[in-house]
Structure 1
Amino acid sequence: MTVGVRFRTPRLVYARFLGDPPPVGSHVVVRQEGRLYLGQVRTPPTEGRPEGEVLRLASKDDLDRAVRLKEKAEDALYLLRALFREKGLPGKPLLCEYDLEEKALRVHLARLEEKKLPFGQIVKEARSRLGLRVELVLEGPREAAGLVGTLGACGMESCCSTWLQGFAPVSIRMARDQGLPLSPEKISGPCGRLLCCLAYEHPVYEELLRELPRKNARVCAKSGVCGKVVKHHPLAQAVDLQTPEGKVVTVHKSELEA
């Protein structure tokens, strides 16, 4: 069995455990790729593919060390950003994190230009400045927004930088099913990708749409009005019918002929 553990990125890492499962919300020390990291348990036991191993619940010393290393990682981040500007490298360091034993520094990068990142040069320069092993992780637009922290269209802090524990697939069909404007400015987040929240209510809209005739179907109302379905109103359980004369009439589902 495994539990989902979140470090400092939005993505969950599933780590196996021995004995009693660590409580959700507790801080644990996880061994991943031969190094120790402090993370927080975000899920109850589940059948996930293990990417690490929970060694123990975090002690006060572990928590204090993590705070100190977080501050030290901020200094490393400023240094690396200066290095990128100095060398004109096509990327932006977003986040640095030390392992608990300070054996390595993991650097999360965003690609700013459609150019191949010179990973070898970056690692060599960073290692010479910091004096330890450096690992680079290239992040996509959604992951980068979660690491930096942004505001959503709702005016609140974005889900990916607060509580979200992974990215679900989002499609333009979700916006279409919910009757939202298909303008990229209206349905895209600060990351430039489709809003993650489009997926939250989509199962409900799918269920509501099953109760309505499909678009472009020709149906009749009990009142005798017939026409082509041109628009759905899922929440109101109604459709707009366009009559042969070009008039648009809104009809509730209960008023449609079988």
Structure 2
Amino acid sequence: MACASCSTKDGQPKGCKNNGTCGTDSCNKLTVFDWLANMSLPNGEKPFNWVEVRFKNGRKEYYQNTENLTLSIGDVVAAQAPSGHDIGMVTLTGELVRVQMKRKNVSETPEEIFKIYRKASQKDIDIWSEARDKEEPMKVKARQFAIDLRLEMKISDIEFQGDASKATFYYTAEERVDFRELIKVFAREFRTRIEMKQVGFRQEASRLGGIGSCGRELCCSTWLTDFRSVSTSAARYQQLSLNPQKLAGQCGKLKCCLNYELDSYLDALKGFPKTEIKLKTEKGTAVCQKTDIFKGHMWYAYEGEWMNWHKITTVQANEIIALNKKNQPVASLEEYASELTEDTKSEFENVVGQDSLTRFDSPKPNNKRKNNKRKNNNGKKNYKKKPQESKNVAK
């Protein structure tokens, strides 16, 4: 989705350059639709005095509206911070904020309550915009300083506080990093208070965003908020090739989408026998070669005849295994596989007025007609009369 300030004009994209703080709140990450906006509160009920405020790259916090300001989605506000104030945008108001706080386990009566001071003035917005413009060149210098000090860490993002009094450096690292010397270099170079915050690789990808191998924006940067652990067993259950390059996402970890269909696969696999179990028949011992999870089919091949596969259903496989446990081998798999023979020939109907769906498969007949049409100088066409065939009359 795109707002009016981001849309194209005369074929050229304007670009609001707000970097995730769009004024109309229509092209942001992790936006929430207020489906209670058109519903009025019962008589005597006061509106919920907490609001949701979003900061850079989808970071959201909840603040109490102690001043009873009239706030709506898209308003830029000055909110309380541990030191100074921060500038953010209101993304949600009303009763839906209570639902979001309950879902994210945010207490309505915390020990330290942060509140909203006021709607941001033009001076606040100018200071905030100037600080945001400094973040990208600072990130380039900060990465070079970390390389010079030979620290095994990657500085992924920098976020200035709204009053430009503090800069938070987000970094990722495989192991614990001693960055005390690095903070001294940062404070001497950038002349501001420094806070270092380590994030995981998945959190880094959600903050920065990107395009996945499916061609869509990353789930973690658009709608996914909880990061569940993904194991290689999820790929095994779905019969995916264990290729790290294909199974890894932008963060370098296993893709979160491997868990999306995992429950369906696990439910379908409940009726499947273990593939390690061999089927004993009078013709020989059969080993499982392949399975079709959702269709419930299994392919077995006799030992020594690996090229000939026999398809049976899971019900038939469980039946043969139950007989094998009673030391009763079946005659052969061909008896079960013959029941699954199907006529794969499909009949197509001419529903669109075409002669045949395979009319392009056969070569066209080479019937070349002689062009006997000639044109005069005046542009008129002359046609040669076809000579009449003489009839043989019996004398």
TM-score, normalized by length of structure 1?
Answer: 0.72
Q: Structure with the greater relative contact order (CA < 8 A, sep ≥ 6): 1 or 2?
A: 1
Native 8 Å contact 1:3 1:44 kept in 2: no
Q: Secondary structure at the match of 1:44?
A: helix
Deviation at 1:173? 0.3
Partner of 2:143: 84
- Secondary structure at the counterpart of residue 203 of structure 1: helix
Within a 5 Å distance, the mapping from 1:62-211 to structure 2 comes to 65=124, 69=128, 72-86=131-145, 88-89=148-149, 90=151, 91-111=153-173, 117-211=177-271
Change (3 A) 1:99 1:180: same
Gap runs ≥5 in structure 1: 20-24
Matched AA of 1:104: K
Between structure 1 and structure 2, the one with the greater Rg is 2
- Aligned amino acid, residue 44 of structure 1: Q
Could you say which residue in structure 2 is the equivalent of 1:46?
Answer: 102
Task: Rate the CA distance shift 1:6–1:63 in 2: closer, same or farther, 3 A.
Answer: farther
2:304 paired with 1:248: no
RMSD: 4.3
* Cα separation, partners in 2 of 1:123 and 1:257, compared to 1, 3 Å: closer
- In the superposition, relative to structure 1, how do residues 59 and 3 fare at CA in structure 2: closer, same or farther (>3 Å)? closer
Displacement of 1:165: 1.2
1:215–1:238: structure 2 CA closer, same or farther, 3 Å change rule?
Answer: same
Alpha-carbon distance between aligned partners in 1 of 2:224 and 2:293, rounded to the nearest angstrom: 27
Partner deviation per Cα, 1:214-252 (whole Å, 9 max, x = no partner) = 22134589xx99734343322222223233443433333
CA separation in 2, counterparts of 1:254 and 1:168?
34
Per-residue deviation, 1:178: 0.7
- Give the Å deviation of 1:121: 1.9
Question: d(CA) in 2 for partners of 1:226 and 1:180?
Answer: 27
Asked if 2 retains the 8 angstrom alpha-carbon contact of 1:3 and 1:17, the reply is: yes
- Which residue is equivalent to 1:22? none
CA deviation map 1:80-129 (0-9, x unaligned):
42243256143443222233344422111234xx6764421222222223
Residue identity opposite 1:138 in structure 2: Q
- Distance of aligned partners of 1:251 and 1:60 in 2 relative to their CA distance in 1, 3 Å threshold: farther
2:291 to 201, 214, 232: 232
Q: Distance in 1 between matches of 2:205 and 2:273?
A: 39
* Offset from partner CA, 1:21-48 (integer Å, 9 cap, x none): xxxx888877665675537569634262
> Could you tell me how far 1:136 is from its partner in structure 2?
0.6
Whole-angstrom distance in 2 between the partners of 1:252 and 1:76: 61
Deviates more, 1:92-101 or 1:132-141: 92-101
CA spacing shift, 1:249–1:84, aligned 2, 3 Å? same
Give the drift of 1:167: 1.6
C-alpha separation between the residues in 2 aligned to 1:141 and 1:133?
25
- What corresponds to 2:3 in structure 1? none
Stretch moving more, 201-210 or 114-123: 114-123
Structure 2: 5+ residue runs without aligned partners? Answer: 1-49, 67-72, 320-395
- Give aligned pairs, total: 248
CA shift in 2, pair 1:34/1:127, >3 Å: same
Report which of the two has the higher share of strand: 1
Q: Is the 8 A contact 2:278 2:288 kept in 1?
A: yes
Whether contact under 8 Å (2:131, 2:164) holds in the other structure is no
